[in-house]
Amino acid sequence: MKKIQNITKKKNKTKIVCLTAYSKNIAEEIDKYADIVLVGDSLGSVLYNYTTTRKVSLTEMINHSKSVKMGVKKSLLVVDMPYKTYDTNNSALKNAKKIIQETKCDAVKLEGGKKVIKQIRLLIKNKISVMGHLGLLPQTAKGKFKSKGKNSREAKQLMDDAMLLQKNGVFAIVLECVSTSVAKQITQKLSIPTIGIGSSVHCDGQVLVTDDLLGINDTKIRFVKKFMNLKKYINLGLKKFSQEVRSKRYPSKKHSY
């Protein structure tokens, strides 16, 4: 609970940094800079080339989260509950408990508002911390992904859902691809933090897929900014290795027994 309190206390004081991780080695580096480490179901596309997060299994999420946990010391560790693992109260509680017990994470994240409020309420009643997720919902979105909150109906629904999630005990809400004005209104209205992704600087924090911001992926999504081109350096290292192997410079006596 202390880690969660540290996050909620940042509301209106300092921006929250949230990054994704799927393995121990990356998690160790992210932990130095992030407030929240998220094992996102985005691992489906990043690691497995799935065309949708719906294909991500509970087993995959748990296995990667176990690895990430080994690299996280200070940050809050949140794990996405995959598609179809929280359809009912019983399945939500059973699977959330399984995630918490096997990964030792601090919280789980569920997509949706009113449609999943009963499940969220039950998890929190059972002392399982929950992060919400509103706006674009990749697990249930149909067709081409579109931003949310562009009309008054969508704006009202987003605000209503945000207030409902807060009322029922979530400690923070991810706002994905929500229009700037609506994201700002929700953030100002809530007493809990909002974590934006494509939802403007007005949110209390920001999350990105780490592979995207490092330039490992060739994604061209509007909200992604490449902060470096890691692919370039990976290629340099691989090229040098292959050259030294072929020229018999590696391994030298220094690297041999």
248 CB neighbour count, 10 Å cutoff: 8
d(CA 120, CA 187): 20
Please give the structure tokens belonging to residue 27: 């998690």
Per the CB < 8 A criterion, the answer to whether 120 and 129 are in contact is: no
Question: Is 63 within 8 Å of 82 (Cβ atoms)?
Answer: no
Catalytic annotation present for 60 = no
Q: How far is CA 256 from CA 82, 104, 168, 186, in A?
A: 46, 40, 61, 61
**What residue type is assigned to position 193 of the chain?**
P
d(CA 173, CA 187): 9
Give CA 127 to chain center in angstroms: 21
User: Distance between CA 91 and CA 123 in Å, rounded?
Assistant: 11
* Alpha carbon of residue 102 to chain centroid: 19
Residue of 28, 60, 176, 244 with catalytic role: 176
Q: Provide the annotated active-site residues.
A: 176
